[in-house]
Amino acid sequence: MKFKTMQYPLDVKVKFLLMIGVLLAFLLLVFIVNSNSSSPAAYQPPSAQLESWKASSVFSKEVVVVPSTSCPPSSSSSSTSSCSKIPPSLAQALIHYSTSNVTPQQTLKEISVTWKVLEKRSPCNFLVFGLGHDSLMWSALNHGGRTVFLEEDRAWIDQIKQRFPTLESHHVVYDTKVRQAEDLLKVGKREECAVVGDPRSSKCRLALKGMPDEIYEIEWDLIMVDAPTGYFEDAPGRMTALYTAGLMARNRKDGDTDVFVHDVDRLVEDKFSRAFLCDGYMREQQGRLRHFTIPSQTLGASPGDGLFCP
């Protein structure tokens, strides 16, 4: 993620800053409403006002709004004061993006695809392949949940940790090259790659091994594949990341996993996402971002039974 030095038009930067301003304004309004309440127990979240504002011209479809978390009833004034404060993760993100010349690599429309799902599912477990300029944003938008980043470059992890020590990240080693993609796509069609199970015990060459055990054991509600590097022949490419994301989604006990893939304008991301996340599970594509919703398949899939893709 960090290798892409993309520059966006001024209007995109302005829209992004507008989004940040709207978030801050809304949270400040909630603070004022809450502080003026005669009793904390009588406080009700302004959901009706929020729906009205979303429908107004001020909140266009391109503007992302972060809803507040209502405070639990309490007779303690200190509890009310603490609950009405802006969460530290959100405050840090607001300050960072408001004062930085570097914007997230995804466009506002692409970010909004993931945000629509996060709005419904957060706080949740969110796994992101890649650590970059948008990591602080994803962590803030999943406030109260667990957001974990997987990164190939150990030096980059150390650099980010110095700036944002609250972000959780792990180093991952990839043993593939983009130039192997065509052969690996054929490997993915073998019988052993159609079996649903824990990637650690998979016999498929594409199953990514060597990550911390908790990465395999947690049931991830959202997975984003925006790494590793994949824009030149000797880069590791996202072949194993895409296959493993699909395998972990299918291996959860029940429910669905929303998987997002960035840079689908490139050959590897396009072909491998369609093959292993499946056209039948694709929900939306906006720009270079695809959204898939993959159901649990914990009963396993026998070769040729059609369970891996619908």
The answer to whether residue 200 is domain-embedded is: yes
Backbone angles phi, psi at 151, to 5 degrees: -130, 140
Q: Which two tokens stand for residue 28?
A: 């400040």
The answer to whether residue 75 is domain-embedded is: no
- Could you tell me the CA-to-CA distances from 28 to 32, 115, 155, 180 in Å, in that order? 6, 21, 38, 52
Q: Is-contact 246 283, C-beta < 8 A?
A: no
The answer to whether residue 306 is domain-embedded is: no
Given the structure tokens 């957060």, which residue do they identify? Answer: 122
Quote the pLDDT of residue 98: 61
Q: Which two tokens stand for residue 127?
A: 């796994």
The answer to whether residue 285 is domain-embedded is: yes
Looking at the 3D structure of the chain, how many domains does it have? Answer: 1
Q: Give dist(CA 58, CA 291) in Å, integer.
A: 27
Strand partners, 259: 223, 292
Neighbour-count burial of 299, counting CB atoms closer than 10 A to its CB (0-12 exposed, 13-18 middle, 19+ buried): exposed
The answer to whether residue 49 is domain-embedded is: no
Quote the pLDDT of residue 24: 58
Given the structure tokens 């890649």, which residue do they identify? Answer: 130
Q: Which two tokens stand for residue 177?
A: 């090259």
The answer to whether residue 177 is domain-embedded is: yes
State how beta strands 146-151 and 168-171 pair.
Answer: parallel
Q: Is-contact 173 152, C-beta < 8 A?
A: yes
Amino acid letter, 259: V
CATH number, position 160: 3.40.50.150
Quote the pLDDT of residue 47: 42
> What tens-digit pLDDT sequence spans the chain (310 residues)?
554 444 445 555 556 566 666 565 555 554 554 545 444 443 344 444 434 433 433 333 343 444 444 455 544 444 444 556 767 777 776 776 666 676 668 999 999 999 999 999 999 999 999 999 899 999 999 999 999 999 999 999 999 999 999 999 999 999 999 999 999 999 999 999 999 999 999 999 999 999 999 999 999 999 999 999 999 999 999 999 999 999 999 999 999 999 999 999 999 999 999 999 999 999 999 999 999 999 998 754 444 444 578 8
Cis peptide before 228 (omega within 30 of 0): yes
Quote the pLDDT of residue 129: 98
Instruction: Give the end-to-end CA distance of the chain in Å, rounded to a whole number.
Output: 31
Q: Which domain holds residue 286?
A: 104-295
Q: Which two tokens stand for residue 153?
A: 């470059």
Quote the pLDDT of residue 186: 97
Q: Is-contact 131 171, C-beta < 8 A?
A: no
Amino acid letter, 143: H
Classify 284 as helix, strand or coil. strand
The answer to whether residue 174 is domain-embedded is: yes
